[in-house]
Amino acid sequence: MIAGLFRTGKGAAPRLCRIVMPMQDDRPIADPPLWRAIPRWWRGHVTREIDHQAVVDRVREDDGWSPRYAFMILMSAGIAVLGLLLSSPAVVIGAMLISPLMGPIVGLGFALATVDSREIRRTLSTLAAGAAIAVVFTAFIVLLSPLQTVTNEIAARTRPNLFDLMVALFSALAGAYAMIRGKAGTIVGVAIATALMPPLATVGFGLATLNATVAGGAFLLFFTNFVTIALAAGIMARLYGFGRELSPRQSWLQTAFIIGIFLALAVPLGLSLGRIAWEARASREARDVISREFADEARISQIEIDFGARPLAVTASVLTSRYERDASARATRILSDILGQPVALDIEQIRVGEGTDTENAQLLAAQSARREVQGQVDRLTDRLALIAGVDADAVTVDTARKRAIVRAKPLPDAGLATYRVLEQRALQTAPGWTIEVTPPVLPLPELALGEDGTPGDADALALTIWAGRRTGLPIDLAVRGDSDAALLKAFTDRGIDARIVRGTSADRAVPRWRTAE
């Protein structure tokens, strides 16, 4: 306790009063927990150094619509699509350096951080307009171009995977940091790492060539990069103090939204990465299996794998001085066991160096037989395409099993009997082959019935059964009477899904394709 003199008012006499001071506590003051100390230190030493208004002004300069933005979109898109058509990485990188789309995407990230709905709408409309202009302009260039083949540069942007998402995330974090800290030169590297214009140019190529696979894969890559950059920029902006204070519930919802978006992107991209990894493993195993079938001096000059074929189609050319009999059959069995799925392997053995006369004769005979088979396949494919009225690509040919399948288009004034005759003629020109021409869904012939209910017109019955087996569609048999078991058995014994429905005639059955119930 400490005593002292105080005056309580003007002219008042001094009065002795007593001031009571608390006793000093010798206990040490506890340090705040680390999870509170780090944010306090961040706000006091890092966030305070940022000129928030200057950064926002710098972002707003590049995130809106302007004639300069539209012009740069056209120039970047033109350079990108020409680089893709020429398969020139240097030209494609030139399109990345212009990077006009980075402005509205980064602006969108800052708008998300500040929860500015007006700015979000403005940046989204700017980005959508720029992307639409780029796609239309590149599609127009592709339509005028004599080069419309899928180059390596185009193919590289049609199969995004989880690694693309990670590259976009890390690059976007670096770009947002550079924007906030005033190191704008880093944005150039980010623009190259997270390509935006080349995927859009690939989308334009896919639309111009009516290739949905190319357009869809490229758009997924663009969408992945765009969303990742925007969200990463928003995260960095929040960390550096941009935006208003959010309640704990709002912060939790914002965090859950960002995590949900990344997971929604990561799942399909992860599956794509798994598929790419499996294809790489299959290619490596195929090369190893084929190499083990030949001597050490043999060399695989070329190997191609069609992963879309069923069974998996593998074609290889091997430079060897000694012919290996049954190499394709042995390698096919081994590779099928390793990959766990059927494989159709075709090995072309090309003679090099010296060998015995017998070995050279065997090798030359095998090469001659292979060329003859390939010529037969090409002729058969062209013939079936002509018969069915389709392109040659629509004909499915399994060389190993000597089987060809094609789905025919409707021909003027042609009935089911016409397609069956065309199939029989194709069979006559390719002995030993199984050929199936799937006809269009056309009216089935009526079936005359005998007294015991069995079909009396063998040709009409055979045609109906042939059409049912080729199309795989179920058939309803309209007939009036009680003795219909023999009629139904004629179809079910041949694997056709058929049933009896009540009709108006007892001596005639009317087959119809079963409609969806």
pLDDT at 1: 43
pLDDT at 249: 58
pLDDT at 272: 79
CA-based nearest residue to 465, from 435, 440, 497, 434: 497
- Structural tokens at position 40: 């306090």
Helices (H), 442-484: 458-471
Residues paired with 350 in a beta bridge: 319
Query: Under DSSP, is residue 196 helix (H, G, I), strand (E, B) or coil?
Result: coil
Tens digit of pLDDT at every position of the chain (517 positions): 444 444 444 444 454 444 444 555 555 555 555 555 666 655 555 566 666 677 777 777 777 788 888 898 899 889 889 988 888 888 888 777 777 888 888 888 888 877 777 888 888 888 899 999 999 999 999 998 887 888 888 888 888 888 888 888 887 787 777 777 765 554 555 555 556 888 899 999 999 988 888 888 889 888 888 888 888 888 887 777 776 555 455 556 666 777 777 777 778 778 877 888 888 888 888 888 888 888 777 788 778 888 877 788 888 888 887 777 788 888 888 888 888 888 888 887 777 665 555 555 555 555 555 665 666 677 777 778 877 778 877 788 777 677 888 888 887 778 888 888 888 888 887 777 888 888 988 888 888 887 766 777 788 888 888 988 888 888 888 887 666 777 788 888 888 888 888 877 777 888 888 874 4
Residue 381's contacts (CB-CB under 8 Å, 6 or more residues apart) are 392, 395, 397, 404
Residues paired with 476 in a beta bridge: 499, 512
Residues paired with 6 in a beta bridge: 15
Query: Under DSSP, is residue 480 helix (H, G, I), strand (E, B) or coil?
Result: coil
Q: How many CB atoms lie within 10 A of CB 160?
A: 24
Alpha-carbon gap, residue 406 to 396, rounded angstroms: 6
pLDDT at 139: 92
Residue 331's contacts (CB-CB under 8 Å, 6 or more residues apart) are 289, 290, 293, 345, 347
Residue 172's contacts (CB-CB under 8 Å, 6 or more residues apart) are 190, 194, 228, 229, 231, 232, 233
Residue in this structure with the two tokens 């006369």, named with its chain if needed: 357
Residue in this structure with the two tokens 């990894």, named with its chain if needed: 277
Q: Provide the angle, in degrees to the nearest 10, between the axes of the packed helices 67-86 and 117-144.
A: 40
Please provide the DSSP assignment of 50-84 as one string: S-HHHHHHHHHHHSS--HHHHHHHHHHHHHHHHHH
Give me the sheet containing 312-320, strands edge to edge: 299-306, 312-320, 343-351
Residue length, the chain? 517
Query: Under DSSP, is residue 147 helix (H, G, I), strand (E, B) or coil?
Result: coil
Residue in this structure with the two tokens 């974090």, named with its chain if needed: 173
Residue type, 484: D
pLDDT at 428: 80
- Structural tokens at position 132: 């639409």
Please provide the DSSP assignment of 21-39 as one string: PPPPP-SPPPPPPHHHHHH
Give me the sheet containing 475-479, strands edge to edge: 447-448, 508-513, 475-479, 498-502
pLDDT at 32: 57
CA-based nearest residue to 471, from 497, 490, 448, 434: 497
* Contact in structure between 317 and 346 (CB atoms under 8 Å): no
> What is the reported pTM?
0.56
Q: How many CB atoms lie within 10 A of CB 170?
A: 15
3-state percent breakdown (helix, strand, coil) of the chain, nearest 5: 60, 15, 30
